[in-house]
C-alpha cells in the first residue's frame, strides 16, 4: 500500500513537471509596453486649427489694370520694393494721351476767349455808364444810351457763357485724365512685389466677376502679418478675443511664437462635407517676430482657453474609449483597466479628477497589438 502510494505521488509530480514545461514552452511572451507615472504638473485646455493655417499680410492686393489692353510699360519685377502711388505698369494709351492733350489745349483756348469776352463786356459797361451820365446832362440821346446799355448786358452775358465753357472744357480734360489713369496701374500702398504675370507687348485683362484669374501684379506689405486658420465649429463658443495663442510654423520647427486672438469670424464655413469650421485670426505679440516671416508660410495656432498648475495629469495618448486607461501592475506584471474622470485637456496632457493615484503607471502604447487588460507585460 505504501509502495503504491509512493508511485502515485511520483506520477503526479512527473505529470506536474511535464505540464509546467509544456505551459512554459507554449505560453505567449509578455507584451512590451511603454508607461508613464501619474504626476502633478500644468495642464492647458487648448483649441487647435483643423487644417493648416496661413501667414497673411494685413495689406495684400492682387492688382490688374482697370481696362484690357497691351502692356506698353512694365516698371517693376518680382521682389521690388515700391512706395504708395508708384506706377507699376501702363497699358498702351497714346490715343487717350492725345485726347488729353487736345482737351488741355482747348481749355487754354476757352480761357483766352473767356478773358476776351469779359474784357469786351467791361469796356461796354464803361461806355454804357458814360452815356448814362451824358444823358442826364442832355448830351446823349435816349436811343444811343439804351443801345449801349443793351450791348453791355449782352457782352456781360457772353462773358458768363465763356466762363461756363471753361468749366465744360475742364470737365472734358478731367474725363480724359481719368481715362488715362484707367490705363495705369499704381501701388495702393507701400510694399513688395510678390508676383508679376505679364511682359511688355502682352495683353492684360481685369478679372471678370466671379472668375478668379492670376493678378497682373501681386503686392503685399511685409511690415504687418497675422495668422488665419480654421477651427472646428464645436470649439468656437469657448473662444474670446484677446486669448493667448501659441503659433508654430513648419519653417521654424524648433520654436513657437506668442500670439493673441484678434478676430473670430461671425459665420460658419462648410467648405468640406462633415467639417464645418470658423475662421480665426491671430496677431503676433512680439512685432520683432514679423521680420522673419513671409506671407504664405503654413502655420498652426493653438488658442489657450484655460490653464491649471500643479494638477494630477497623464499623457493624453494613454486614454482610450474616452474615460479608461491601462495600469501596469509591477507586482504581477499584468495590465489592469481603470475608469477615470477627466478634467481639462489638450493633445499633450489630460487632467485627472478621479480614478488614479500619484505614482501609478499608465500605459501609453495602447495602440500596440495585444495590449489589453489582463495580459502580462514588461516595461520597454
**pLDDT tens-digit profile of 211-242?**
777 889 999 988 889 999 999 888 888 899 99
What mean pLDDT value characterizes the chain? 87
272 pLDDT band (50/70/90 cuts)?
A: low
- Cβ contact 244:260 at 8 Å: yes
Region 138-145 average pLDDT: 81
Region 311-330 average pLDDT: 89
Judge whether residue 366 has pLDDT over 70.
yes
pLDDT (0 to 100) of residue 274: 62
307: alpha, beta or left? (left if phi > 0; alpha if psi -120 to 50): beta
33 pLDDT band (50/70/90 cuts)?
A: confident
23 pLDDT band (50/70/90 cuts)?
A: low
CA-CA-CA-CA torsion sign (208, 212, 213, 217) = positive
Q: Rounded distance, CA 131 to CA 324, Å?
A: 117
Region 264-291 average pLDDT: 83
Rounded to two decimals, the pTM is 0.64
288 pLDDT band (50/70/90 cuts)?
A: confident
Helix or strand run (H / E) with residue 72: strand 69-74
What percentage of the chain exceeds 70 in pLDDT?
93
Judge whether residue 367 has pLDDT over 90.
no
Q: Rounded distance, CA 77 to CA 199, Å?
A: 10
Amino acid at each position: 500500500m505504501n509502495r503504491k502510494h509512493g508511485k502515485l505521488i511520483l506520477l503526479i509530480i512527473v505529470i506536474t513537471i511535464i505540464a509546467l514545461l509544456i505551459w512554459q514552452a507554449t505560453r505567449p511572451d509578455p507584451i512590451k509596453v511603454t508607461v508613464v507615472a501619474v504626476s502633478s504638473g500644468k495642464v492647458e485646455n487648448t483649441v487647435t486649427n483643423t487644417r493648416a493655417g496661413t501667414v497673411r499680410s494685413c495689406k495684400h492686393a492682387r492688382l490688374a489694370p482697370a481696362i484690357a489692353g497691351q502692356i506698353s510699360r512694365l516698371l517693376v519685377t518680382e521682389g521690388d520694393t515700391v512706395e504708395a502711388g508708384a506706377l507699376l505698369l501702363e497699358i498702351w494709351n497714346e490715343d487717350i494721351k492725345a485726347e488729353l492733350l487736345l482737351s488741355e489745349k482747348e481749355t487754354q483756348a476757352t480761357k483766352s476767349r473767356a478773358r476776351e469776352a469779359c474784357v469786351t463786356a467791361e469796356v461796354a459797361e464803361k461806355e454804357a455808364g458814360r452815356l448814362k451820365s451824358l444823358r442826364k446832362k442832355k448830351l446823349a440821346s435816349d436811343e444811343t444810351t439804351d443801345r449801349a446799355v443793351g450791348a453791355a448786358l449782352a457782352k456781360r452775358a457772353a462773358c458768363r457763357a465763356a466762363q461756363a465753357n471753361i468749366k465744360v472744357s475742364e470737365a472734358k480734360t478731367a474725363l480724359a485724365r481719368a481715362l488715362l489713369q484707367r490705363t495705369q496701374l499704381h501701388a495702393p500702398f507701400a510694399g513688395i512685389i510678390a508676383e508679376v504675370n505679364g511682359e511688355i507687348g502682352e495683353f492684360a485683362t481685369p478679372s471678370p466677376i466671379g472668375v478668379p484669374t492670376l493678378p497682373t501684379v501681386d503686392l503685399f506689405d511685409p511690415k504687418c502679418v497675422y495668422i488665419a486658420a480654421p477651427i472646428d465649429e464645436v470649439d468656437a463658443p469657448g473662444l474670446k478675443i484677446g486669448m493667448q495663442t501659441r503659433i508654430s510654423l513648419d519653417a521654424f520647427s524648433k520654436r513657437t511664437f506668442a500670439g493673441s486672438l484678434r478676430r473670430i469670424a461671425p459665420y460658419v464655413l462648410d467648405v468640406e462635407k462633415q467639417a464645418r469650421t470658423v475662421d480665426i485670426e491671430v496677431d503676433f505679440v512680439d512685432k520683432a517676430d514679423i521680420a522673419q516671416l513671409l506671407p504664405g508660410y503654413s502655420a498652426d495656432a493653438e488658442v489657450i482657453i484655460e490653464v491649471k498648475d500643479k494638477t494630477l495629469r497623464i499623457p493624453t495618448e494613454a486614454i482610450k474609449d474616452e474615460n479608461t486607461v491601462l495600469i501596469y501592475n509591477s507586482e504581477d506584471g499584468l495590465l489592469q483597466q481603470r475608469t477615470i474622470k477627466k478634467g481639462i485637456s489638450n493633445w499633450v496632457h489630460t487632467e485627472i479628477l478621479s480614478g488614479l493615484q500619484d505614482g501609478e503607471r499608465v500605459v501609453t502604447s495602447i495602440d500596440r497589438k495585444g495590449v489589453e487588460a489582463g495580459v502580462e507585460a514588461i516595461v520597454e
